[in-house]
Amino acid sequence: MDTLSYKTISANKATVTKEWVIVDATDQTLGRLGAKVAKLLRGKYKPNFTPHVDCGDNVIIINADKVKLSGNKWNDRVYLSYTGYPGGQREMTPARLIAKPNGEERLLKKVVKGMLPKNILGAKLLGNLYVYAGSEHKHDAQNPKMIDINSYK
């Protein structure tokens, strides 16, 4: 019996293969899209997933302005932040956030950030996410491939 076939292979920075993928956010639900993108960034769809290593892909989200929320969540959902001063709790709705400059990018990054680990690795993984409001992006040199996010679970 070949016992070498039972060895667990742990990925590291040198052995990981990172790809560039494009995700179209047109008519996608915000939370479900964020969860699938977080799994792509983390590398959980890969067979050599290692929890403490950045083994995920670089993800480009296009058409972020066409993402949808069900019900009245555009105005009812509240994102809280705190300035650090007494009485400094601020609240923001998705509708007010998306109306600001680069609001689509900020909204999607906020959603995906909440689904990543809360440590140094999570901050590094968020750096592999690129969000664009329109269908144009500036990463043609990386030869990204278009994927259907609905085929992932």
Q: Delineate the domains of the chain, giving CATH numbers in brackets.
A: 18-67+93-149 (3.90.1180.10)
Distance between CA atoms of 28 and 24, rounded to whole angstroms?
Answer: 8
Distance between CA atoms of 83 and 124, rounded to whole angstroms?
Answer: 24
pLDDT: which is higher, 2 or 129: 129
Query: Which run of H or E residues covers position 98?
Result: helix 94-99
Distance between CA atoms of 109 and 25, rounded to whole angstroms?
Answer: 13
Distance between CA atoms of 117 and 126, rounded to whole angstroms?
Answer: 10
Contact 136, 144 (CB under 8 A): no
| pLDDT, tens digit (0-9, with 9 covering 90-100), for 50-96 | 999 999 999 999 999 999 999 999 999 999 999 999 999 999 999 99
State the residue for tokens 């009245």: 72
Here the tokens at position 25 are: 């956010």
Give yes or no for residue 122 having a pLDDT over 70. yes
| pLDDT, tens digit (0-9, with 9 covering 90-100), for 4-52 | 667 777 888 888 999 999 999 999 999 999 999 999 999 999 988 999 9
- E strands, 42-99, where? 58-62, 79-82, 89-92
Distance between CA atoms of 30 and 64, rounded to whole angstroms?
Answer: 9
Give yes or no for residue 1 having a pLDDT over 80. no
List all residues 6 or more positions away from 113 whose beta carbon is below 8 Å from its beta carbon. 122, 126
Give yes or no for residue 2 having a pLDDT over 90. no
pLDDT at 3: 66
